[in-house]
Amino acid sequence: MTPDQNLLLYTKLAGFRLVVLANPFGCETDFLRALHDRLIEGLEQILRLMNRL
C-alpha cells in the first residue's frame, strides 16, 4: 500500500471507531455490549499497529 492509501484507511478506521464509541445505546444485552467493547478494542489495536508504520 502507498502512504496515501495507508492514510486514507487510517482515517476511515478512526472515523468508524468514533461512530462505534458514540453509539453503544443499541446494545441491549450483555452479549451485544461485550461484542461492542471487543470491536472497539480491535479497532484500537489496528490503529496502533498502523501508527507504527
pLDDT tens across 25-43, in order? 888 999 999 999 999 999 9
Q: pLDDT tier at 1 (50, 70, 90 boundaries)?
A: confident
Q: For position 37, what pLDDT does the model report?
A: 95
Place of cell 486514507: 8
User: In degrees rounded to 5, what are phi and psi of residue 9?
Assistant: -65, -45
Q: For position 34, what pLDDT does the model report?
A: 95
Instruction: Reply yes or no on whether the pLDDT at 45 is more than 80.
Output: yes
Q: For position 50, what pLDDT does the model report?
A: 92
In angstroms, rounded to a whole number, what is the distance separating the alpha carbons of residues 29 and 46? 26
Q: For position 36, what pLDDT does the model report?
A: 95
